A and B are shown apart, each in its own frame.
Chain A
Amino acid sequence: MGKPNVVVSAKKNTGNSNPNRIVGFLQKWGLPAVLLGPFLILITIFFIAPVVLIVILAFTNMDSSMVWDLNGLLNFKKMASDPNLSEIMLNTVFYVTLTLSLNIFLGLSLALLTTYFIKQESVGLIIRTIWMLPRISPPVVYILLWLWFFDPSEYGVLNSLRMIFDMPPANFLADQPMTAIVLANGLIGASYGMIIFSAAIKSIPGDLFMAARVDGAAERSIIFDIIIPAVKWPLMFVTLWQLLSLLTSYEYILLLTKGGPLFETEVLALYSYHKAFQSFEYGYGSAVALVLVVIALICTFIFWRIFGMDKMIKSSRIE
C-alpha cells in the first residue's frame, strides 16, 4: 500500500538531488509523523473520540451497566418534559449574564484604575498581582475562603460583621446561593479581563492623551472617546471568551453549593455532570452535554466570524 506513495512522493521530490527514494520518503513524511505522532494520538483518543462518543451516547440509554442500548430521540423527549430543566435553564441564563457583567465591569474598572488613573507603574502592578491571587489559587482553596466567608455559624466573616451590628447570624449560602456563586466566579473572571484590558490601554500612544489634554478634554471624554474605543475589540473578545467558558464550566459551583439547595444553583453543565456521575444516567447526561456542545459551537462560530482566525491568534498573544 505504501509503495505507490513512495514513488509519487519521490517523484515530487525530484528537485531534491537525493537519489534514494526511501530517504526522500522519510524526509517528507518521517519527520512530521514522528514529531506530530504523540500529539495526534493524544487528541484523537481524548478529544476527537469523546466528541464522536458523546454524539452517539446521547441517543442511548446507557447506565452503570455500560450496555449500549440505542433508544432514538427518547433522551431529547425526556429533556423536553423534564420538570427541573426550565428552572435549570433559567439559572444558567441568570448565572452567565450576572457573572459575565460582573467580570467585565470589574475587569474594565480595575484596568482603568491601575493603568490610567494611577500613574505609578509599580503600584498598578502590585494591585494587578494581588488580583491574580484568586486565579492562581487552587480551586479548592479559593472555595474554602468563600465557605468561611459565608459560614452560617458566628465564626463566618459575614456573620461576624452582622454581630457587630447586633444582627442574628444568617445562613447566606442557603438563602442567597445564586449571589454566592456569581460573586465567587465574578472575582476570578475579573482578573482575566483586567490583564487583557490593561495591555490594550497601555498600548494606546501617549501623545493621544497629551493632545486631548492640550485641547482641554475632560477626564470623562478621555475615557469615553479614547480609551473605550481602543478596548472595543479586546472587550468583545473577553466577553465572548468568558461567555463560552462560563456556559460550560461548573467546577466552582460544584465545590461551593453542589448545585443546591435543591436546584437553586444547578446550571446546565452541572446538571449533565450530576446526571452522569451521580445518578449514573450516562445516556441522558450525554444528551444534555450535547446540547451544551452545540450552543458552545455556535458561540465559537460567531467568535470566528467576528474575529477571524488570524486576529484570534494575535489577540491570544497579547503581552
Chain B
Amino acid sequence: MKTQKSRLPSMTAYVVLGIITLPIILMYIWLLLNSFTTQMKYGVIPTNLTLDNWQFIWSDVVINGTEMPSIWTATLNSFLFAGSLTILELIIGVMAGYALSRLNFPGRQGLLKTTMLLHAFPSVALLIAVFYILNFLGLFDSLWGVILVKTALQIPMTAWIIKGFFDDVSWDVEWAGLIDGCTRFKVWYTIVIPLIKPGIAAVAIFAFLAGWSEFLLLYTFILSDENITLAAYLQKLMSNPNVINYGLLSAVSIFYMIPVLLFFIFTQKSLMQVNATGGKGV
C-alpha cells in the first residue's frame, strides 16, 4: 500500500516531464527529417524522401541569381576560428591559471579581483569600443581580429577555471619534484600539467564549441564573403526574405551541428560540468 502511495507523484512527474520535453525532441527530429524531404505533410510528416537539400555540399547554392560562397570555405573558416580560439585560450589560460594559483607576485590579489570582475562583466556592451580598436589595429573584417577578441572575452573565465584545477594539485607533488632536482618549469611541464589533463580537455571542448557556435562577433566584425563562417552562412540563407527553403536550411543546420553533436554525445558528462561552472550566455 505504501508503494502505491509513493508511486503516484512519480507518475505525475513522468507525465509532466514528457509533455514539456517532447516539443524539444520533436523539433530536433524535424530538423533531421526535413533535410531529407521536399515536402512535409502538416509541416511535420515527411512525404517524399530526397537528397536535393544536401546539394550544397557538392555545388554552390544560388539564390535569386546571386551565388552563395562555397560551404567548404565557410567550414574551413569555422574550423580555423574555433581551432585557433581553442589553442590560444588553452595556452594563455594554462599559463595565467598557473601563475594565479601558484606564484607569489605583487598585485596578485588585485589581479584576482580584476579577473573575477571581468568574468561577470557585460562584454557585449563593449562591442562599439572593440570595433574602434579593431579598426585602429587594421583587424576589422579579418578572422584573426575576431579570434583575438573572442579569446580576450573568454580568457578571464578560462583562467579562473584552470586556476581552480591547479589549486587542487597538492604542493607536495611540486616539492617532491624540486627536491629530485627538477627546475620549476620542468616540474610544471612534466608533473603538474599531466595531473590536470582531464580538466584541460574539458576546457578545450568548451572553448571549441564556443568558437564553433559564435555568431554575434562574426556577424558584426566580418563583412567579406571570403571570411564567411558557417554561422554567418546559415544566417545569410535565413535572412533572405524571398525564399525560405526550410529543407535547405535544415540540411545546412545539420551539417553545421555535426561537430557539436559529436562532442555532445561523447563528452556529455564533462560538458555538463564545465557548463555549470560558467555558462555566460543566457
Contacts and interface: CB of A to CB of B under 8 A. Distances in A.
A247 B184 CA distance: 45
Interface in A119-134: 119, 127-134
B282 interface: yes
A39 B159 CA distance: 9
Contacts of B17: 110, 113-114, 118, 127
A164 interface: yes
A276 interface: yes
Given A139-B215, A155-B40, A250-B124, A50 B129 contact: yes
A296 B125 contact: yes
A197 B111 CA distance: 31
Contact of B212 (A110, A138, A189): A138
Nearest to B93: A39
A38 B27 CA distance: 43
Majority secondary structure, B binding face? helix
A159 B40 CA distance: 13
Contacts of B278: 316
A39 B282 contact: no
Interface in A126-148: 127-141, 143-145, 147-148
Contact of B216 (A42, A136, A189, A254): A254
B153 A53 contact: no
Contacts of B271: 132, 136
A265 interface: no
A20 B102 CA distance: 24
B122 A144 contact: no
B76 interface: no
Contact of A251 (B21, B121, B184, B215): B215
Contacts of A31: 99, 103, 184
Contact of B13 (A35, A117, A149): A117
Contact of A252 (B28, B111, B277, B282): B282
Contacts of A293: 122, 125-126
B35 to A, nearest CB: 12
Contacts of A118: 10, 13-14, 17
A318 B167 CA distance: 15
Nearest to A192: B279
Given A47-B118, A117-B13, A149 B27 contact: yes
Interface stretch (B55-63, B170-178, B190-198, B249-257): B249-257
A6 interface: no
Given A269-B124, A293-B122, A38 B213 contact: no
Given A133-B24, A292-B125, A293-B125, A244 B120 contact: yes
B42 A160 contact: yes
Given A35-B96, A45-B152, A131-B24, A319 B276 contact: yes
B79 interface: no
B234 A53 contact: no
Contact of B130 (A50, A106, A241, A309): A50
Interface stretch (A78-86, A170-178, A282-290): A282-290
A228 interface: no
B57 to A, nearest CB: 17
A156 B250 CA distance: 14
B128 A276 contact: yes
Most buried by B among A42, A128, A164, A185: A42
Nearest to A38: B92
A246 B282 CA distance: 6
A34 B103 CA distance: 12
Nearest to B95: A35
Majority secondary structure, A binding face? helix
Contacts of B275: 132, 135, 192, 195
A285 B151 contact: no
A42 B133 contact: no
A157 B275 CA distance: 31
A242 B276 CA distance: 13
B272 A195 contact: yes
B103 A317 contact: no
A138 to B, nearest CB: 4
A119 B24 contact: no
A128 B280 CA distance: 19
Interface of B: 9-10, 12-14, 16-17, 20-21, 24-25, 27-28, 30-31, 40, 42-44, 91-93, 95-96, 98-100, 103, 105, 111, 113-114, 116-118, 120-133, 135, 148-149, 151-153, 155-156, 159-160, 164, 184, 209, 212-213, 215-216, 220, 230-231, 234-235, 238, 244, 246, 249-250, 253, 256-257, 260, 264, 268, 271-273, 275-282
20 contacts: A32-B103, A36-B96, A36-B99, A42-B155, A47-B118, A47-B126, A54-B125, A57-B129, A106-B20, A118-B13, A138-B260, A144-B238, A155-B43, A195-B272, A251-B215, A293-B122, A293-B126, A316-B278, A317-B277, A319-B276
Given A38-B92, A119-B10, 20 more contacts: A28-B105, A46-B148, A50-B130, A53-B132, A57-B132, A118-B13, A129-B268, A132-B275, A134-B24, A135-B279, A138-B215, A144-B250, A156-B43, A157-B43, A192-B282, A248-B124, A248-B125, A273-B127, A289-B128, A317-B277
The 10 closest A-B pairs by CB, nearest first: A46-B152, A248-B122, A50-B129, A117-B13, A39-B96, A160-B43, A53-B129, A138-B213, A35-B99, A32-B105
